[in-house]
Amino acid sequence: MKKRSAPNLGDLRTKIDDIDAKILALISRRGKVARQIGDIKRQSGSAVYVPSREKQIFDTVIKLNSGPYSDPSIIAIFREIISATRALEVPTRVAFLGPFATFTHMAAVHHFGTSATFLAQTGISEVFVEVEKDHADYGVVPVENSTEGVVNYTLDKFVESDLKICSEIIISVAHHLMSAESEIKRIKRVYSHPQALVQCRQWLSLNLPGVELKKTESTAAAAERVRKEKGAAAIASHLAADIYGLNILKADIQDQIHNFTRFLVISKEAAQPTGRDKTSLVIAAKDRVGILYELLRPLSEAGVNLTKIESRPLKKRAWEYLFFLDLDGHLKDPIISESLVCLKAESEFFKVLGSYPKSS
């Protein structure tokens, strides 16, 4: 019996080319169907970006994935396909807290894909305004960091804005030392945002003792500055290194390995239930003994899982507070809606900020 010879490199590459051609043909078919969907959406005035639908796609992809690619790798591929497809329907405009190459920009790209149109804003308030005025379809703003805590200004904006939270993004914050230089020993100055410098303080003291630390308005501004400055390095994201053409001299220099930032996607449209959602709201009540217990009792009695509570002082009245709550479930879930009716009845101020899919 004649022994079968192993395939050679040329044969395998030919096979890859044939598979690529089939993948491209299927993606093109997908795009044509998406254009038809886009026509229907335009006629009915439906939203182009539907978080619940995209989550359903990702859940199905993960369920069907049998390897050898990891789930995050497959999700990244499909996210770009969906982003490009969404652009065929209607270009998606996303305002974010800028400048470009910051972690908020990275979160926006991670969520919407590279085919969206990204609009950098100088402040959180400006992001809200761009969406409110329909200059952007969605906004992305930071709300909390696992080591630095909440972004109070974002919480304050939700009290006065009618925009809804339609999704959340949680990304790992990895700080990298980057420079136009090719060796760490040449570094005399390090630029970055104050928070990044604090989060990398231990690494800097051990590996670059005595170097001058310079504060900038953002990590992206630091990266832009050092690309033409000798002896200078920046602490920023890998996206900043790509955009400004810098060498990453040392990756992951943050002191805390588990350093995550949570971002919120805001829009005028409410998100539909997915079966794995959370609801955010803000409440206030008259100051009296045991009031917080009384407010939260309906949630406890209904078995609703409260995942976060954050207090903020009322700006117009001293020693009175707003409470920001996150809880598991969607506003359309009967248990959640009934519990919130009871909660609203006990509250002096009550506002649902949005029900939306949990970050994967």
Chain segment 209-248, per-residue pLDDT in tens: 999 999 999 899 999 999 989 999 999 999 999 999 999 9
Residues 102 and 132 grouped into a single domain: yes
Q: Measure the N-to-C terminal CA separation of the chain; round to a whole number of Å.
A: 53
Percent of the chain clearing pLDDT 90 (strictly above): 60
Region at 210 (left for phi over 0; alpha for psi -120 to 50; beta for the rest): left
pLDDT tens digits, 10-38 = 889 999 999 999 999 999 999 899 888 88
Token pair 């794995």 is at which residue?
Answer: 276
What mean pLDDT is reported for the chain? 89
CATH of the domain at 349: 3.30.70.260
C-beta separation of 289 from 184 below 8 A: no
80 in a structural domain: yes
Residues 198 and 222 grouped into a single domain: yes
Which pairs with CB-CB distance under 8 Å and at least 24 residues apart come from 156-161? 156/312, 156/315, 157/124, 157/125, 157/128, 158/282, 158/324, 158/351, 158/353, 159/282, 159/322, 159/351, 161/128, 161/132, 161/266
CATH of the domain at 202: 3.40.190.10
pLDDT of residue 15: 92
The backbone torsions φ and ψ at residue 201, rounded to the nearest 5 degrees and listed phi first, read: -55, -45
12 in a structural domain: no
289 in a structural domain: yes
C-beta separation of 80 from 30 below 8 A: no
201 in a structural domain: yes
pLDDT tens digits, 114-173 = 999 999 999 999 999 999 999 999 999 999 987 777 788 898 899 989 999 999 999 988
Least confident of 2-6, 178-182, 289-293: 2-6
What total number of domains does the chain contain? 4
Last residue of a domain, one of 72, 88, 104: 88
| Statement: residue 49 has pLDDT above 90 | no
29 in a structural domain: yes
Q: 48: pLDDT confidence band, cut at 50, 70 and 90?
A: confident
3 in a structural domain: no
pLDDT of residue 2: 58
pLDDT of residue 287: 66
Residues 314 and 242 grouped into a single domain: no
Report how many helices (DSSP H) and strands (DSSP E) the chain contains, helices first: 12, 15
Q: Give exposure, 133-155, as e/b (b: 16+ Cβ within 10 Å).
A: eeebbbbbbbbbbebeebbeebb
2 in a structural domain: no
Last residue of a domain, one of 88, 112, 146: 88
129 in a structural domain: yes
Domain range spanning residue 23?
17-88
Residues 166 and 181 grouped into a single domain: no
